[in-house]
Amino acid sequence: MSRQLFGTDGVRGRAGDFLTAELALALARATVELSCQGHPQVLIVRDTRESGEMLESAIAAGVTSAGGDVLLGGVLPTPAAPLLLRRHGLQLAVVISASHNPYWDNGIKFFAGDGFKLSDETELAIESRMRVACGPSQRIGRVRTLHGALEDYLRELHRRFVDLDLSGRRILLDCANGATHRAAPEIFRRLGAEVDVIADQPDGRNINDGVGSTHIEPLRELMARGEHDAGFAFDGDGDRVLAVDRRGDLVDGDELIAIAAKHLHDCGLLGGGVAVTVMTNFGFHTAMSEAGIEVATTAVGDRYVFEELRSRGWRLGGEQSGHIIDLGFGPSGDGIASALLTMEALEGRELTDRHGMVKLPQKLVNIRADSRELLSAAMATDAVSEAISAAGDSLAGRGRVLVRASGTEPLIRVMVEAPSSEETERVCAVLAATVQSALS
As annotated, the active-site residues are 99
* Cα separation, 310 vs 119, whole angstroms: 13
Spatial contact of 256 and 338, defined as CB atoms under 8 Å apart = yes
Q: 209 — alpha (psi -120 to 50), left (phi > 0) or beta? A: beta
- One-character DSSP codes across 277-296: ETTS-HHHHHHHHHHT-EEE
Q: Is the dihedral of CA 65, 71, 72, 75 positive or negative?
A: negative
Using DSSP's 3-state secondary structure scheme, residue 416 falls into strand
Spatial contact of 239 and 339, defined as CB atoms under 8 Å apart = no
Alpha helices in 174-327 (DSSP H): 183-190, 217-223, 253-266, 282-291, 302-312
Question: Between 372-379 and 421-439, two packed helices, what is the crossing angle to 10 degrees?
Answer: 120
What's the full length of the chain, in residues? Answer: 440
Cα separation values, 309 from 203, 238, 334, Å: 37, 21, 16
Torsion over CA of 39, 43, 44 and 48, rounded to 10 degrees?
A: 170
Spatial contact of 313 and 355, defined as CB atoms under 8 Å apart = no
The rounded Cα 83 to chain-centroid distance in angstroms is: 16
The H or E element containing residue 344 is: helix 335-346
Amino acid at 90: L
Burial class (CB in 10 A: 0-12, 13-18, 19+), 309: buried
Cα separation values, 423 from 56, 364, 391, 428, Å: 48, 13, 11, 8
